């Protein structure tokens, strides 16, 4: 198969569900705010809305069925090896996990070290994993938020690139909080991708240093008054 190569940074998105973060990145690219090209959207779920969104925008969409790999001792690695083949075939520069509901193994993590990002709906390192909006409310936090981070083998553990904080209101439910956080996700994920495209991210141990950002002096206090 011959795959055309343009100068724009080549991005692949792995998604399992509704794909609103994928959509935000597609929209930002189409609006000229992010200099990148999504060359493939890959899902482990055949019915993922994310795949439909890709098709609507003329982006190659692929369902990679995990079933043929099930039952093997190395099923997760074997699945990731087949993803890696696709990513290499498409000459992908940056991999984005966007609601991708599988744990990625060293096979992908090592091949895309500091070149694979994830978005998570909490202020990491608080509340990794699932059901995080409820956990933040139940804990009594006054601030929640979302995090874009590089992907390492530990789930939701990689170096943090951008975070956005959102107040938790007394009458919040998981749904209302999730909706407000999602608005922020759609802002910070495209921004992180653009920072990467501009070559402004430097990983120094656990810290991601961003070239050319202005110092932000303002505190976020919740409740504000």
Pairing type for strands 160-167 and 143-150 reads antiparallel
Task: Specify whether 120 is catalytic.
Answer: yes
> Minimal distance in Å, beta carbon 17 to ligand GRF?
4
Separation between Cα atoms, residue 149 and residue 208, nearest integer Å: 9
**Residues that bind ligand GRF in the complex, under the rule CB under 6 A:** 15, 17-21, 98-99, 119-121, 146, 182, 185
Nearer to ligand GRF, 83 or 190 (CB): 190
| Closest CB 101 distance from ligand GRF, rounded Å | 8
Spatial CA neighbour of 24 closest among 221, 200, 171, 164: 164
**Closer by beta carbon to ligand GRF, 184 or else 194:** 184
Residue in the shown chain whose Cβ atom is closest to ligand GRF? 99
- Do residues 15 and 41 lie in contact, with contact meaning Cβ atoms separated by under 8 Å? yes
Catalytic one among 120, 133, 149, 186?
120
Contact by Cβ (8 Å): 110, 87: no
Closest distance of CB 75 from ligand GRF, Å: 22
Separation between Cα atoms, residue 15 and residue 107, nearest integer Å? 18
**For ligand GRF, the closer CB: 98 or 197:** 98
Q: Could you list the active site residues?
A: 120
């Amino acid at each position: 198969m011959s795959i055309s190569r343009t100068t724009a940074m080549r991005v692949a998105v792995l998604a399992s569900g509704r794909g609103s973060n994928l959509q935000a990145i597609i929209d930002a690219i189409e609006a000229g705010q992010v200099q990148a090209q999504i060359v493939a959207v890959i899902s482990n779920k055949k019915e993922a809305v994310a795949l439909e969104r890709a098709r609507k925008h003329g982006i190659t969409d692929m369902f990679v069925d995990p079933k043929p790999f099930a039952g093997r001792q190395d099923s997760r690695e074997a699945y990731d090896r087949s993803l890696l083949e696709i990513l290499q075939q498409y000459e992908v520069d940056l991999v984005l996990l966007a609601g991708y509901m599988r744990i990625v193994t060293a096979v992908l993590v090592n091949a895309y070290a500091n070149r694979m990002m994830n978005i998570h709906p909490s202020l990491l390192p608080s509340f990794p994993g699932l059901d995080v909006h409820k956990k933040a409310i139940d804990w009594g936090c006054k601030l929640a938020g979302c995090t874009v981070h590089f992907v390492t083998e530990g789930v939701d553990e990689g170096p943090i690139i951008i975070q956005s904080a959102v107040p938790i209101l007394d009458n919040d439910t998981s749904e209302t909080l999730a909706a407000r956080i999602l608005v922020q996700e759609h802002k910070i994920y495209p921004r992180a991708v653009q920072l990467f495209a501009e070559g402004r991210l430097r990983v120094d141990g656990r810290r991601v240093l961003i070239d050319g950002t202005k110092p932000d002096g303002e505190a976020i206090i919740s409740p504000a008054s």
